[in-house]
Structure 1
Amino acid sequence: MTQQTEHSHLILTGDRPTGQLHLGHYVGSLRQRVELQTQHPQYILIADLQGLTDNGSQPEKITRNVLEVMADYLAVGIDPQLSTICLQSALPALAELTMLYMNIVTVSRVERNPTVKNEIQQKGFSRSLPAGFLVYPISQAADITAFGADLVPVGDDQLPMIEQTNEIVHKMNSLLPQPVLRHCKALLSPVSRLPGIDGNAKMSKSLGNTLTLSASEEEIHKAVGAMYTDPGHLRVSDPGQIEGNVVFTYLDAFHPDSSKVAAMKAHYQQGGLGDRQCKNELETCLQELLAPVRQRRAELIVDKEMLMTLLKAGSEKAHEKTQQTLVAVKRGLGLPVMF
């Protein structure tokens, strides 16, 4: 095991608990978190408050999934002795920093954020847009800076969030007698965005095109069988296209033998390799990957008291860390620190 050192980066990452985590989360971040936790201090935030920004009228959707996400984390190998798992709503410093940052960010700047613009369009918001959703990039900036994170694993669609966070850091530090907040860098996964099983550009719970980490053998079988391939590949002997072929995208992301996948690609492009054979290879790969995760998760989710105890312990540690940042910012601004 690689030991953390005093020169380690500090990492913050996390998820909104809007449902169980899926393969997109796994390949985009979870797998990376398991590797990073032995190398750097790492905080993982279950962002329930941000989950409410577009689910405010159905809070039970968020609250019932907090421990579901916690179970997903542990099932894939995140170790609470190495990674501090915490709950956003248990950390009041994050909300207070968000409020302070909102005063130095204009509405027009938030509206220019391409990630926010795309999500507003995807969710069908117009003037019914919740104010909390509009400003959630500011909340994310508060999360990152409160922990002092300088390395943030994200998908490429989240890069505008990192840019805006650093703008806030620069502006806020300029208002303080001496810099308090750290700039951060994005850490992209080798596969930062996994398409949905329907061929949509992104796997998303809201689009219903996901495969959860707890998927059954039959669910995996059906999902792979329905995956988009090459519509022009009508006969096995026909040359096939691998660009945009979801099956090969998933093979690239999950198959442990890249040389075998490369050989399959060449064979498929030349003709003579059928879609069913490719799907069988992918299904075998996914069944082997998810079987132990599914079993471990089933054992974990029944012990909700244990999950809550671990989450509370991590949140207490994170509370101390984030309060230190809040106090430093308030003192720098000349605001009284009462507690």
Structure 2
Amino acid sequence: MRPTGKLHLGHYHGVLKNWVKLQHEFECFFFVADWHALTTQYDDPSNIEQSVSDMVIDWLAAGVNPGSSTMFIQSQVPEHAELHLLLSMITPLGWLERIPTYKDQQEKLREKDLATYGFLGYPLLQSADILMYRAGRVPVGADQVSHVEITREIARRFNHLYGREPGFEDQAEAAIVKMGKKNAKLYRNLKKRYQEEGDLDSLETARALLKEQQNISLGDRERLYGFIEGGGKVILPEPQPLLTPESKLSGLDGQKMSKSYNNYIGLREVPDTVAVKIRTMQTDPARVRRIDPGEPEKCPVYALHKVYSDADTRSWVEIGCRSAGIGCLDCKKPLIDSIVEEQRPLRERAAEYEGNPDLIRSILEEGRERARDAARDTLDEVRSAMGLSYR
């Protein structure tokens, strides 16, 4: 996530709640993309440091747990920059120029000079971020799927160029033997069924079999993935997008909640400010007077009720609004209470970190070391494949 400072409830419902869930299902790497921030904010980096701190506190407040996931700052793992450079040697310019968000962002940010290599190359840096950890799944919204797709293409191109190491088949056969007689026989049968009959189930079964093997190294496992697929060693596995549930949280004006629209409620906003923002929200324009009936579906307040209120409360709002049985302030009160109650544990968790920058620093340093350990393993293989392993 780019460091944009304090987050809002749209981030919480759209991203952070999903991260909290995923950290208990997968090995997760969550990082502050400060280099990515510089691709569009290179002329004014003065707020980046404070924005990083504010955002990480919000991650922790939302329940992202440094004991269950790896949290770090991108620029503190310099291996990302090296992998980006190495991948740039093989990435055609046309691949970067066709990314949909490239021209979209140029159009949206016309006041900025974005004719820089950093901006053109940010999708490749994003690919390096993903491939560095050999990620199997990348949680993204639908608008980011194209970035995962170019990452898959880059991995495929890299493996095609460099995956055929000298003596590949001999090394693959030796790795099969290490699996033991029973598993080796099963692997060979699955390989034959996939390559001769195109049985995709056999390919998936073989991948699962390799994942369970304790007697082979990571390099042998990747080698055998490539061997069954008829290619070379898979040095950089191709990731898959993991589509996140689309956020349904509207802002105070009915548009998508966003800082740029100034229609947001902060993740840790104080209760009094939340109450003021909700009380002054626009409602159905048909309800000019208290006695005028309204239509909930035309009211931004009701859009928030759909997220925060139970079925009984929503029914009370629908009936009361359409019959003019309740006023708009009556409708808003239970919504205020629900939002404040949801934020309460977030503010309590944040309080532990707000006055303790050393604690945040130690969390990010520990995450950095874990990330660098994984990054070095990947770079060792990439350098070796590209002829840059000097001994």
Q: What is the TM-score of this pair, normalised by structure 1?
A: 0.84
Between 1:60-69 and 1:119-128, the stretch displaced more is: 119-128
Change (3 A) 1:221 1:92: same
1:34 is aligned to 2:87:
no
- Structure 1 counterpart of 2:235, one-letter code: V
- The structure 1 residue matched to 2:98, chosen from 101, 112, 115, is 112
Shift in Å, 1:32:
1.3
What SS does structure 1 have at the residue aligned with 2:295?
coil
Aligned equivalents of 1:317, 1:69: Cα separation in 2 = 20
Change (3 A) 1:268 1:168: farther
Shift in Å, 1:134:
2.9
1:316 is aligned to 2:302:
no
1:295 is aligned to 2:281:
no
Unaligned runs of 5+ in 1: 1-14
- The structure 2 residue matched to 1:277, chosen from 330, 347, 351, is 330
Change (3 A) 1:89 1:107: same
> 2:191 aligns to what?
none
Change (3 A) 1:333 1:308: same
Shift in Å, 1:73:
1.5
Superposition RMSD in Å: 2.6
> 2:235 aligns to what?
180
Aligned equivalents of 1:264, 1:156: Cα separation in 2 = 34
- The structure 2 residue matched to 1:199, chosen from 224, 244, 254, is 254
1:219 is aligned to 2:205:
no
Unaligned runs of 5+ in 2: 164-232
Between 1:245-254 and 1:27-36, the stretch displaced more is: 245-254
Aligned equivalents of 1:95, 1:193: Cα separation in 2 = 35
What SS does structure 1 have at the residue aligned with 2:254?
coil
Q: Give % identity.
A: 33
1:326 is aligned to 2:359:
no
1:249 is aligned to 2:235:
no
What SS does structure 2 have at the residue aligned with 1:16?
coil
Q: Work out whether residues 252 and 261 of structure 1, in 8 Å CA contact, stay in contact via their aligned partners in 2.
A: no
Change (3 A) 1:333 1:47: same
> 1:79 aligns to what?
65
The structure carrying a bigger helix percent of its residues is 2
Change (3 A) 1:239 1:129: same
Shift in Å, 1:271:
4.2
Deviations 1:53-85 (A, max 9, x none): 112122221112222222112111121111111
Aligned equivalents of 1:184, 1:299: Cα separation in 2 = 36
Q: Work out whether residues 162 and 184 of structure 1, in 8 Å CA contact, stay in contact via their aligned partners in 2.
A: yes
- Structure 2 counterpart of 1:79, one-letter code: N
Q: What is the TM-score of this pair, normalised by structure 2?
A: 0.74
Deviations 1:208-246 (A, max 9, x none): 333221211122123223434433444565341526x43
Aligned equivalents of 1:51, 1:277: Cα separation in 2 = 42
1:158 is aligned to 2:135:
no
Within 5 Å, which residues of 2 pair with 1:231-246?
Answer: 231-234=285-288, 237-242=292-297, 245-246=299-300
The alignment of Structure 1 onto Structure 2 pairs a total of residues equal to 320
Aligned equivalents of 2:54, 2:345: Cα separation in 1 = 17
Aligned equivalents of 2:266, 2:242: Cα separation in 1 = 24
- Structure 2 counterpart of 1:156, one-letter code: A
Aligned equivalents of 2:321, 2:372: Cα separation in 1 = 54
> 1:260 aligns to what?
312
Shift in Å, 1:270:
4.5
Aligned equivalents of 2:287, 2:96: Cα separation in 1 = 45
Q: Work out whether residues 5 and 53 of structure 2, in 8 Å CA contact, stay in contact via their aligned partners in 1.
A: no
Aligned equivalents of 1:69, 1:120: Cα separation in 2 = 25
